[in-house]
Amino acid sequence: MLITFEGIDGAGKSTQIKKLASHLRHKGREVLTLREPGGTEVAEKIRQILLESRSDITPVGELLLFSASRAELVAEVVRPALEQGQTVILDRFFDSTTAYQGYGRGLDIEMLRTVISISTGALSPDITFYLDILPEESLIRKFSEKSLPLAFESEELDRMERSGLEFYRKVREGYRKLIEAEPERFVRINARLKVQEIHQEIVRSLRERFDEGS
């Protein structure tokens, strides 16, 4: 089974992934957790270019780098694990590309579908948890004591995070459209809920949909 987590930066995905993985392991499942971009030697190098680089990257260049990282991860790690019957939990997958490079950067959504299909070999998640948070709130979580305009200049931010509030508003709107188009795959959860409440909602959704995680 392939489970993915999505949401704008700072929504709390990694905490929930850890909790879900440990819950499923307790239930006897073999669980592999991975994050995108990254996860293989080559993909980690691509991650450095994408996130740590101070240079500008064009939207198409960005798309192809994320896609190259994904192609490596899917072929080298995700598919083999799924074939062995493992549960794979991914911190971001192709919905991030549609939301960030499509709705955020403005690349053509139909063109993205083709690129995504090439990079994943048409692999799709069984379920996708979307943790919904306002961009302003996600920043406040990160920079409680700084003012928001200054926060986007911060050296602590990676290359994507320096894209600004307007960019993140478009990304969030993109996720909204994705969920609307595929309600059967997505579970939208309010990221303002308590950590334990979010976890319980995730476990409940898995049980309802797959009799899994109960």
Contacting residues toward ligand TYD, per CB under 6 A: 9, 35-37, 51, 66, 91-92, 96-97, 100-101, 158, 160-161
- Pick between residue 47 and residue 199 the one whose CB is nearest to ligand TYD: 47
Question: Smallest gap, in angstroms, from Cβ of residue 8 to ligand TYD?
Answer: 7
Residue 7 near residue 191 (C-beta atoms within 8 A): yes
CB of 91 or CB of 212, closer to ligand TYD = 91
Q: How far is the CB of 184 from ligand TYD (least distance, A)?
A: 22
Q: CA distances (Å), 119 to each of 49, 56, 65, 155, in order?
A: 18, 23, 11, 32
CA distances from 29 to 14, 26, 68 (A): 19, 7, 29
As measured in angstroms, the least distance from the Cβ of 91 to ligand TYD is: 6
**Shorter beta-carbon distance to ligand TYD: residue 16 or 87:** 16
Q: How far is the CB of 39 from ligand TYD (least distance, A)?
A: 11
Nearer to ligand TYD, 66 or 175 (CB): 66
**CA separation, residue 192 to residues 119, 129, 138, 141, 172 (Å):** 33, 14, 10, 11, 15
